[in-house]
A and B are shown apart, each in its own frame.
Chain A
């Protein structure tokens, strides 16, 4: 709560249409860059050829692509009237009206009173039909509506945005920290290694959920605080992994050769060692993403995650905690949120496994 003003200023800046659209462009550029750099690396090319024959992996990849697309549509802002802007997804679903409260799945969207349009049709009078036009049934709320009367399907789709943004920002934080520190610890050894190992052993000795909760109690709710807290807890595993692999790689002849040729330390680290540990980062990134999405839901349920009002599956699950004791049972909000979350997390887990199989077929 100390620096809440900084975070709220940041989120205000972040909500601007220009920034949001830039984020989407940066995401696309980032994915393209990873594919481009991977295509230049022999190890990655072989792995990719193996991956193409992995049906589970391809299937999971397609599902994730759909989630990415929906999330991107919610992030993209298009100008609407009078300097305002709506998300592309909101624009697609602009005709879905808001009801007064809960309505069950397949609830008809009806403008006006029951049967008015049907009665007009029955009378056969074109003037009456024209007048009752605006009372006709225009569609259905496929998954019902929530307590505020918003369409559950639309809310569920909109929540992809939070999951993807949080996953993206957190991944950037912990991957940069973990990879650089892991490389440094594994290559320089001695006191550099001692200091880095000490820092991450200390962080690792605090039970993860308690560390997350205490950081978020101090930092406050929101996507950025959550990304910072998750980033601080998640770099530990990656750093450990990269450190071990760097130690193994540093013994190999290509590193000795590079050193003998007088390459600078920076060059050895970035141009020689980094490409050879990058596949571990990729696998950890995909599997870690699923962990982040789950963590968002749990933290939001505990009341330190996304603030109420954010489109997020965690907030939807948290909001649904009293709906199960209602009569009649309101089950669709919880089911929609958990199913959407489950689909993304499962696909990420399966894709991560497929990537691991592709890069290291002997060990799985």
Chain B
């Protein structure tokens, strides 16, 4: 088992390197660092200011290699050849040194640590509520498959998927908070019952946003199970339609369901950009939206890196789940 996990980890490493390379090329090769400085200092910043800004953040080093022939404008004769932005970025990512925000030089690591809890408080309940609802609706569809109800629900899912997320959020805020005044429209508070009042609206909106596509996905998973031989055997033995569905199909389908959920779990830390922005939740999604508005490239860079690591970690967890469930996988 350990050998299997190590093998999977080795497979993931080149991908992590690839992600670091893509972010580096995007932010340091596709754009000049002067544009990065001027995004913060304003378009009319003096060259000296720009130079100082770049120096403060360590962006005044050569791009790839510190040598006169590679990057004469930024060559530092007193530094070794490997003192470049590329090597430093790689080193920082590898040691989880996320650096400071471009905007006000706050440490990004701290920001991410403090944003994780509010994000998780939205995404985790939303995922479980959404999962429960979607599985229940998908089971209803499968039970009455190929009927008018099934078709109607399929169309309803398409309708839910076609509404732009902002419309869900604005209409929910308007109805529940402004017209009915049942729940606060905006804000976050970490004190006992007050927290739950703030959480109810964003959590339920987030659950509904993904409902359409989730029901569709789970329906197709269950339908694939229904086509299996063991279902026909059970039916031949006289098990009722509902009995087959709940005893056999749900249990076997649960394996695919759990792996899907496990693969998605680590990414919940990243939160949701739109929900957190609209409801004023101080999570990672809101942090990224603010960074976009302030053109804070350092925070976006860190978010891309952390997000990819979490995604890959989810994949690793899924692989391990499969290997635990099926010994053939870890031996091949």
Instruction: Name A's B-contacting residues (CB within 8 A).
Output: 1-3, 56, 198-199, 201-203, 205-207, 209-211, 213-215, 217-219, 290, 294, 297-298, 301-304, 313, 317, 321, 324, 334, 338, 341-342, 345-346, 349-350, 353
Contact = CB atoms under 8 A, between A and B. Distances in A.
A324 B170 contact: yes
B27 A205 contact: no
A198 B26 CA distance: 18
A360 to B, nearest CB: 12
Contact of B30 (A199, A218, A290, A298): A218
B297 interface: yes
Given A215-B26, A303-B292, A334-B170, A345 B18 contact: no
Contacts of B48: none
A205 B308 contact: yes
Contacts of A304: 292
Interface residues of B, number: 47
Given A1-B31, A297-B166, A324-B174, A346 B159 contact: yes
Contacts of A353: 154, 158
Contact of A317 (B18, B35, B166, B273): B166
A190 to B, nearest CB: 17
A118 to B, nearest CB: 38
Nearest to B216: A353
Interface of B: 14-15, 18-19, 22-23, 26-27, 30-32, 35, 39, 154-155, 158-159, 161-167, 170, 173-174, 178, 267, 270, 273-274, 288-289, 292-293, 295, 297, 300-301, 303-304, 307-308, 311-312, 315
A214 B26 contact: yes
A272 B289 CA distance: 47
A294 B164 contact: yes
Contact of A205 (B154, B300, B303, B311): B311
B312 A218 contact: no
Per CB-CB distance, the 6 closest pairs between chain A and chain B, nearest first, are A202-B18, A346-B162, A2-B31, A345-B162, A207-B307, A338-B167
A217 B296 CA distance: 9
A347 to B, nearest CB: 8
Given A214-B300, A218-B30, 5 more contacts: A199-B18, A214-B26, A298-B274, A302-B274, A349-B161
Given A324-B170, A341-B164, A217 B300 contact: yes
Contacts of A345: 161-162, 164
Contacts of B308: 205-207
26 contacts: A1-B39, A2-B32, A56-B155, A198-B14, A198-B18, A202-B15, A202-B19, A203-B22, A206-B307, A206-B308, A207-B307, A210-B288, A210-B303, A214-B300, A214-B301, A217-B300, A218-B30, A298-B164, A298-B165, A301-B274, A302-B274, A317-B167, A324-B174, A341-B164, A342-B163, A345-B162
Mostly helix, strand, loop or mixed at chain A's interface?
A: helix
A342 B19 contact: no
Contacts of B293: 303
Most chain A beta-carbon contacts within 10 A, residue among B158, B170, B308, B311? B158
Contacts of B173: 324
Nearest to A348: B162
B274 to A, nearest CB: 7
A298 B19 CA distance: 24
Contacts of A302: 273-274, 289, 292
Contacts of B158: 346, 349-350, 353
Nearest to A294: B164
A337 to B, nearest CB: 9
Nearest to A295: B164
A205 B22 CA distance: 11
B164 A317 contact: yes
A214 B194 CA distance: 35
B128 to A, nearest CB: 21
A334 B170 CA distance: 9
B164 A349 contact: no
Contacts of A201: 15
Contacts of A209: 273
A321 B278 CA distance: 10
A290 B311 CA distance: 25
B231 to A, nearest CB: 16
Q: Counting chain A CB atoms within 10 Å of each CB, which of B14, B31, B165, B274 scores highest?
A: B31
Contact of B304 (A1, A210, A297): A210
Nearest to B267: A207
B307 A350 contact: no
A353 B270 CA distance: 31
| Most chain A Cβ neighbours within 10 Å, of B26, B164, B288 | B164
A341 B163 CA distance: 8
B304 A206 contact: yes
Contacts of B35: 1-2
A166 B158 CA distance: 22
Nearest to B174: A324
A321 B164 CA distance: 14
A300 to B, nearest CB: 10
A202 B274 CA distance: 25
A218 B26 contact: yes
B270 A207 contact: yes
Contact of A301 (B14, B154, B166): B166
A350 B162 CA distance: 10
